[in-house]
Structure formats: C-alpha cells, structure tokens
Chain A
Amino acid sequence: MASWLSDNRAVIAAVLVIMFLAALIWSVVFGYRQTKLTENDEIFGDPVRTKGGWYWAVTGLSALMLIWFYFSWGTGRAFFPDAANEMCQVAKLEESISPIKAALPIGSRYYKSTLLVSRNSAQLDVLEQEIPTGAFSLTEQIELKSIINQIRSMIANSSNLTIVNSEADLKLNNVIIGLGEISARLQAGFEELSPSQEALTQPKWGTTYIEIPVLPTTSLGILFDESSVEAAEIASAFLKIRNHIPENDALIEDTKVRILALKDVNKTGSFGEKTGEIRVAFVKAVERIFKRLDDGLVFPAASLIGVNDAIENLALARKNAQGILRFVDAIFFPGPGIVKSKTQCTEQGSARWLPKPTDVISTFLRLANPDLENGGGYRGETLLWWDWKPISSYVAFIFPDWIADIWPGEYASHGSDGKIDPNVKDKLLAFVQGEISLGYIPMLDGHIWDSLFRVIVAMGLGILLGVPLGLFMGVSRFFKSFFDPLIELYRPVPPLAWAPLILTIFGIQDDGKIFLLFMVAFAIMVISARTGASGVQLTKIRASHSLGATDRQIMWNVIFPNALPEVLTGIRISIGVCWGTLVAAEMLAGTTGVGFIENIARTVSDYELIWVTILIMGVLGLAFDIMMRWVIKKTIPWRGMG
C-alpha cells in the first residue's frame, strides 16, 4: 500500500492539484455569491462582518496548496512525469558544450581570447610604467622595455587573422563541422528510439535520493543523450586546440633567452637585499605574462566566428528539437530548470528548496513508521510511538541522589570476606538512582514525545510555582516589591541568550532544556497571575470580607478564580513561547526532539526533512493553541461578562 502510494505519487499529486483547483474556483464563486447576499445588510465597521466566511479560508488554503504544488514543480511532475528526464538529457547536452560556450561571447560576453589580450596588455602597460629605475641599470631598463614590446608583438601576431596557423584552423573547422552535424541531427528530429532496459528500470522521479532518473527513457531523451556524448568529444577536442603560429616562434625563443639572461644577472650579481628582491620580482612578473602567451591560447577573434555561429545554430536546433518541452519547462518548472552536474541531474530554483507536497508526506510517513528495523523513525528513534519503559528511570529522574546522602548512617563498605552487605542507605541510593527494577509501564516515546515531554514538565513546574507567587505578588507589598525586580531582571533576556549557559550548567539533555523552558514559563505565569490578582474589583474583596471569609479563603475563593482568565491566557502564551524556545534549544544541542531532526536535516541540506519538521512544529503549536482556546472557553465562560 505505502509503496504503491509512493510509486504513484505523480498521479496522486495530479488528482490533488485538480481537487485544489476545483476547491479554489468553487470557493471564490460561492464566497462572491455570499458577499452579494449580505452586502446590503451590513455596514462597514460592524464586527459582525468578520463572522463566518469559512469559504474564504478554503480559498486561501487551496491557493496556498496550489502555489506550493506549482513552485515545488509538483504540478509539473504530476502532469508531465517524463519531462524531467527529457530536461535532464537536454541539460546533458548543455553541460557537454559548456566548455566551448565559455570561450565564446555566446556563453560569457567576451571571447576568452579578448579577455586574455585585454588583461595581458593592461598588465604590460603597468609594468612598462613601473620599471624600478633604482634597481636596474639604464641598459637593463632599455632591455626590459624591449622585452615588453616583444611580448606585445606576440599578442598582435596571435590576433592577426592574416597570419594563419593552418593546423589550428583545420581543427576549428572540424569543431564547426561536428557541431553542425549535431545540429542537423537535432533538426531532423527523432525516429523511434527505444530506451535501454536499464533506463526503464530506473526508480521514478523523486522516489529515491537520486532526484531525477539520468538515463533517457524517451526517444527525444535518447536523441539528446546521444548528441551530448558527441558534443562532449567535440568540446574536448576544442579545448586542445592551440594557436601556435610560426611568426611567434623566433620571438618566443629570443624572449626566453633574454629573460634567462636577466635572471642569471639577478642570481650572480651582488645587489643589496632590497634591490635584489625588487629585481627578482619584476623579472618574474614579466616572465609570467610571457608564459601565458607562450601557451597559444590567444586566437584571432574572427577565426572563432564560425564556432560561435555553429553554437548558435545548435541552440536553435536544440530549441526546435525540444518542441513543446520548452514551453512545459517554462510554464510548469519555474526557475532555471534542471542542471546536470557530474553524475546527476538536479532541480534548480524554487524546487531545490521547496519539496513537493507529496514528497513531504512520503518523508513524513517514512519517519512516522514506528518499525525502526525497516527504515522507520529517525536516527534510531521513532517519531511518536509507545514503548515499555522501566519505572525506575522515572524514579531516578524525579528523586535527586542527595536524598540518599542525607539519610542517617554510612554507606556500607566491603567486609573482610570481600562481600558487600548493602544497608538501608545503600538500598535507598540504588532506588533514587533507578537501579532497582520496579517493573515497566507503557509510555509514549519518540522525537515528538521528547519535545512534548519537555514542554509539559516545564509548563507544569512553571504553573505550579509561578501562579502562587504571582497571586501573592498581586496582593502583598512585600512579595511584589521583593520579587518584581528579580523577575524583571532575567525575564527581558531572550530565552535563547540564556541557552548556552543553562545547557552548560544543567546538561544538554532533558534537564537543561526543561530548566530553560521553566524560566520562560515561570516569568510569564508570575506576571499573568499577578495581573489577574491585582485586577480584582475592590467591592468583591469587601463583599467577601463582609461575608466573613478569612484572608486565606479570599485568596483561594475570590482572588484565584478572578485571576483565572489571566492565568489561562498566560498559559496559552507561555506554551507558545516555550515551544518556540524548545525547538531552537534542541537545534543548539541534544540528540532527540523535533528541533534536533531539523538541525541534522539542515547540515545535510535535506530540504524535505526540514519541511517535515517545520510542518510538525506548526501543527503541534496549532494543536496546543486550539487546546488552550477550548480549555479557556470551557473553564471561564464568564470572561468578558462579569
């Protein structure tokens, strides 16, 4: 079932896209009609106008889903499942001819030769102006200028079309002919070409870590694949062509000898330390430029026009051969399309970091699978499941070891027979350390539960300690004045700023995170309980005094229920803040939790996993909030009506 769904995700996506499109159109039409209906009964500014309108929510959500499908190429994959494979073959051809294009204006504004000439000439000009007159003798200076001029004439010779290197010319011609053949082949279109068996058994697009099947599966794809192989050969031949012209041979030999002579003088002559350095450096600079030109990489611009035209023709032929694929690419695959690099074809643009909705669901299902042995869960832990947990580990978590330490008596030492007879103190220590087996209980388990557990424990502690303190601060001058500055000193610091410190002190596992979250929850609970307590109407307090209630009774029966709305709102806020802080804290350190998964996913650029964790966090945060809204509605129906 799961693998069937996984293999047919393109079809499922197609159905979903059509459904969302239908929902979008329907909700817009329906919403428009509803608006027309109520138009005359409502006036602007009337709060009633915001009530209802769920159909607009449908519009928004389906629009969001469609945008997601579109920019993640989910639509493209759904309706053109073979397109990526074909685009990959086209990308192969592009990759093959890219070295040729790089040397031509078609790929990079200028000819590579033009760039070489301009850069070297500029450097020669600078060298000529900056000949260190102090370091070289007058005759040497003249010699250097002469060498520089000689290099200049080498550049001029290489750029001169009338002085032809027949061998290079022949090779360039071969390149042009080769490219022309490929163009012609592409122009001619494809006859029925059958894909190889290996290509047909490739995993489908997006189902494995290899994003796009590389081997061609369609006739068009095979045509491009084969062309790309030929083009690669032509490109490597092109890269080997050198413009060695006989007119330069003598110049090169001469220059070599003269530079060598200067170098010899540098070596043997006795110059000051500084002068020596300047001389060596200058001669080296001149030699560097000379060696660059010695390579024969400068061609006359006109000699490359033919190649440039051939590439342009090839681009045209490619466009024709692509046919409708070109429009599919432009419309359904927003962004730079598919790029082939080394061994695989990858999605570029928005699809690179925005995984398709169906892939996200599939990744989520893979993670949610509690069967760890068969690839479920993440890093040896389930997402959310249950397991038999020893009770003793919870005992160890709750009771600190010092309980045993303060127990009267001494720990047992080994007796003369080499045996240890544990006393009550030893047994107590074993108990609080969780070493005594107390049986097992079924307990929730997994990354999500680890995160939830931290929030729940921290919130529980925060409420248990924060609410009473807040209430006392609301009614007592001492409590308010004593605790207010203490809490206000630590509260404004963003919780994550505390994180490195707290995690160092309390450890990166549960303890540290729970304490960090407790700090957050505690401050919010204190402040909200205090606001609630100090907001009690004086007449209510007076009335309860007149009715004979004691101070303690007033606290519990009047001030606490009166503060309840604020307390619950505080809980709602602090759950949200705790959740946000926790995920960030888990990203900082730790080995479990939703934030941990995202952190690992980030380091390996697994965008699907990143999105899965983002969605998990969003859904859980929303669930918390909905739960609290429900609790608030149920527990304080009098809110706003008192």
Chain B
Amino acid sequence: MSDLVCENLNMTFRNPQTGAVVEALKDINFTLKKGELLSVLGPSGCGKTTLLNVIAGFLNATGGCAKLSGNVIERPGVERGMVFQQGALFEWLTVARNVDFGLRMKGKDPEENQQEVDKWLDIVGLKGFGETPTYQLSGGMQQRVALARCLINEPDVILMDEPLGALDALTREKMQSLVLEIWKETGKTIMIITHSVEEALLLGERLFVMAPRPGRVHKEYNLPFAERGLNDPLREIKHDPQFGEVREEILTMIWDMEEEIMGRG
C-alpha cells in the first residue's frame, strides 16, 4: 500500500506586507497508486509547484494532508526523491560522489556504494563519467546525474519539478524516453510537473490540468500514450491524430485560463 494520497489539501499564503491572502491550493483530492505516472500541467501560478513542494515536505499544508503509504507527510524524506529543473548538483563533487550522496549520508559501505553508482550511471547512460566533475557536464547530462542521484536511494515516489524545462528539444526528447524507460524498469510512482503540453501527454499515464485562483485540479485525463511510448518512438506518437486532438483541447483550455488571468476572459 505505497499509494500517494492527497486529502482536501489546502494551501494559503499571506503576504506579510499587504495582508492579502492567496489560495495557492484548494481542496485537492487524489490518489496515486504505486507505479502510476502522473503529469501535472497548468498555467503559471496555478499552484502546481506548491503541490509538489507540499508532497515533497518542503512546505506544510494549511489544511488537509498528503499521505504516502498511510503516513502523513510533514518533512522531506528519502522515500520521496526530488529532481529539480536545474540539477541542483553539488558542483564540488564528482558525478559518482553526487550520485552516492544519499548513500554516504546514511553511512553505507563505500564499496557497495560504488557498485550501486556504476549500476545507476549505466542506467541513465553515463557509464564512465563517474570521476568527471559535474560542472563539466552538459545540461542533459546533469539532469541524468540528478535522476541517478535520486533513484539510487530507492524512493517510493519520484517528484520532478519541470525536470526537462531547461533542455534543448533534442536532449529533451531523449530524456523523455529515459524517464519512460526508468518508469518501466523500476515501476516507481512518478509525478512530473511540466509546462509543456506535449511532454505532459507523452509522459502522463494520468494527467491533471490545474487551474489558478484558487489552485485546483481542473480536469483529469487517463491517457494511453505513456504506455505506448515504452515501445514506439515518441515522434510517431506525436503524429497520432488522437494525440493531436487531446493536445488541442488542453491548449485551448490553458489558453482560456491565461486569458482569464489577464482579465480578458
């Protein structure tokens, strides 16, 4: 029972100067079963990053709660791995020392660590880069390191905050395949926040479109593309008429929300 559950999750921020209250999240309810792949989409300011931060334990909800395996989430933990937009790597360490950071902090045996590191570097496609300083890596490679660093801790849930946002189109596509591959091989629960509709469709077995003011889940989809992406090339899927249909629908939805935010709705 390692499900991720959100029950009536509420999050309000108060501006200390003006006293204005912002409802970043309002009555969020969902259950993410083990092994599900969820992507969250929405216009800027709809609270998707706040949602992720609450689940990660960086923020405490002002109402309701998020639970993992039945335990209320109150603080960050190893069972919920994080991947950030910018790798957030420790540039003073080599790739290998970044990857086994979690293990070292737990005081594990260095030799075993090395084996784990080699295994995970192999999976993310960075074999032989162990002793490279991270500041010498490209953006895509840095995200691979971040992924390996997170996976090596064997988390129950992997939380990704726009992990591919800063990458170029080609690298991005390769990384999307990698995420799907890892999902398939490890069977982890994954939650991805993204700005890109295409990415959300490709990577989302389930997809939440969130709406702002107050931040809420506007619409939920169950999509077949992630499953297909395990076998078919991603570019082919993008040309599927059904894919195009959903994409247009969601784009229109978000477009309308943005218009509304700007007061032109």
Contacts and interface: CB of A to CB of B under 8 A. Distances in A.
Given A543-B82, A545-B76, A638 B88 contact: no
A542 B92 contact: no
Interface residues of B, number: 28
B92 A561 contact: yes
10 contacts: A542-B58, A544-B90, A544-B101, A546-B76, A547-B153, A549-B105, A561-B90, A562-B92, A637-B133, A638-B91
B48 interface: no
Contacts of B126: none
Nearest to A560: B92
A547 B105 contact: yes
Interface in A586-642: 636-638, 641-642
Contact of B102 (A548, A562, A637, A642): A548
B81 interface: yes
A550 interface: yes
Contact of A642 (B78, B135, B150): B135
Given A542-B84, A546-B82, A637-B133, A553 B92 contact: no
Contacts of B224: none
A76 B212 CA distance: 86
Given A547-B153, A549-B105, A557-B105, A539 B78 contact: no
Contact of A542 (B88, B102, B105, B134): B88
Given A547-B149, A558-B90, A539 B84 contact: yes
Given A546-B77, A549-B102, A638-B133, 8 more contacts: A543-B84, A543-B149, A545-B58, A547-B78, A557-B105, A637-B135, A641-B135, A642-B91
B77 A548 contact: yes
Given A539-B86, A553-B105, A637-B133, A546 B92 contact: no
Contacts of A548: 77-78, 102, 105-106, 153
A537 interface: yes
Interface string B138-161: 000000001001100100000000
A-side interface size class: 20 to 34
B101 A638 contact: no
A540 interface: yes
A457 to B, nearest CB: 29
Nearest to B85: A539
A641 B137 CA distance: 10
Contacts of B146: 543
Contacts of B106: 548
Interface in B88-139: 88, 90-93, 101-102, 105-106, 133-135
B26 interface: no
Contacts, number: 73
Nearest to A636: B92
A557 B102 CA distance: 11
B80 interface: yes
A564 interface: yes
A549 B146 CA distance: 16
B243 to A, nearest CB: 32
In the complex, the 6 A-B pairs of residues with the closest C-beta atoms, listed nearest first: A539-B88, A545-B76, A547-B102, A548-B78, A641-B135, A638-B91
B56 interface: yes
B181 to A, nearest CB: 22
Contacts of B57: 545
Contacts of B56: 542, 546
Nearest to B105: A549
B78 A546 contact: yes
Interface in B46-70: 56-58
A548 B134 CA distance: 21
B92 A564 contact: yes
A638 B134 CA distance: 9
